Amino acid sequence: MLNRRNLLRGVATGVGAAFTSSLTGQNLLASSTDGKSAKRVIFFMQNQGFDPRTCIPEGMKKSGSLAKVKLPEPISALEPYKDRLHIINGLHGIHTSPSHSAFFGALGGYRGGDGVAPSGSTIDHELSKVLPETLLPHLCIGMDSLENMTAKPTLATLSASGAGQPIFMHSNPNHLYQMLYGGISTGDIQRQHEARSNLFNQIERLAAAKGQSLPSSDQQRYGQFVQGFKDVNGLRDRLDTVSDHLRKFAPEVDDRYTKPEFETDWHDALLDLGISAVTSGITNTLTLGSGRGEIFGSWKGVGVEQQGHNLGHMTQAGNPIWIKIRQYNSRMLVRIMQALESVPEGNGTMMDNTLIVYTSNNADKQHTNGANWPVMLLGNCDGAFKTGCFTQLDGKRPINALYTSILRAAGQNVDRFNMSEQLAKKFDTDSGPVKELMI
């Protein structure tokens, strides 16, 4: 039976922000854009910080090649992919005031905080606007404990389409599967999809009619609510027009969806759905939030009994607990790359035109001041970024400069991202992309 309260939670208060499109069907599949290879960017944000000692090979103090060094144990799964890897140390995010988390500020490059609304759009949303248009311009997925994902199947802490406009993450794989693939399913999933679709259509009609009688001061906010349902309903209709194509990519629904033993069963199912959305061409911008941008999170499925805030108070380097979490992350990254490498595109594969950005929403550690913000890049986004190397920066360029670099790779001639000249005088020693990273 459908839980209407859970169905409505978040739908019209941010989820729809990434759905709007005036095009339909085959023209909105990323892999079919004018016969050209479509660039795509995937962000993987792990909470509780990213200690550089868990990713920098032992003994590497200066920038150099990764070819003849061994990767640290936490990211050892990436060893076969060193030629696609770029480890970066020495960016900063002091101006984001991260503390427990920078929240929207991690991808926005501005000051964030717990319960603080976004002050501007985030880099993932900006990329979704400049990369070739797709059926679903931007998909956000959040991973947490089973209790949190069940109680709050959508949550917004990392991505935003503008000031005061959060984009919600999907955390229940059953809901996300219905949204993406309900139209091509059978049995209970199809019945739930049809019931949900009928419900949303009714709400859109009723909401639009009732909104006309509201005072003018409330009509704009209510209009955003109505638009959210229009966007969701429009997405469903567009997905239906490419149902034959989607059948080739839809993941198999198994017990992980309905009978998860651990939270990682849902994490893995959500990752499969995210990968399928990218490889099918539904979207070319994917954001994954492990811990959902907060101070919680759980990984009992990989043998970590501790969960939540206490994990952030542990030393990560050499810690068996954090080795397990980071190894799990690394295996997820490998799954993404292998899936993209299996899909031909242009003269190569999807992975040749993709950039994966792995970092934390909390710089290097919990209770950080953001003075060092380690990042790993995988792939080169069609030859834009150097790979197979480690780059040690001097701590004088902000994460905004990395985001500027990615925008440049996407074809935007910009010198700054979310940083005024006045702010840059204090927090950035240069303008434009981070030259050490680019080809």
| pLDDT over 90 at 365, yes or no | yes
Quick one: average pLDDT of 219-228? 51
pLDDT at 35: 46
In order of their start, the domains of the chain are 29-177+257-437 (3.40.720)
E strand spans, 72-178: 85-92, 139-143, 154-162, 165-170
pLDDT tens per residue across span 139-176: 999 999 999 999 999 999 999 999 999 999 999 999 89
Q: pLDDT, tens digit, for every residue of 303-313?
A: 999 998 889 99
Encoding tokens for residue 102?
């920078």
Give the residue from 58, 106, 80, 51 showing the smallest Cα distance to 319.
Answer: 51
Task: Give the range among 108-112, 113-117, 407-411 with minimum mean pLDDT.
Answer: 113-117
pLDDT single digits (tens) 29-80: 665 444 456 899 999 999 999 999 999 999 999 999 999 999 999 999 999 9
Q: What is the pTM of this model?
A: 0.88
pLDDT of 273 above 90: yes
SS3 assignment, position 79: helix
Tell me the C-alpha distance between 296 and 11, whole Å: 23
* 134 vs 229: CA distance, rounded Å: 19
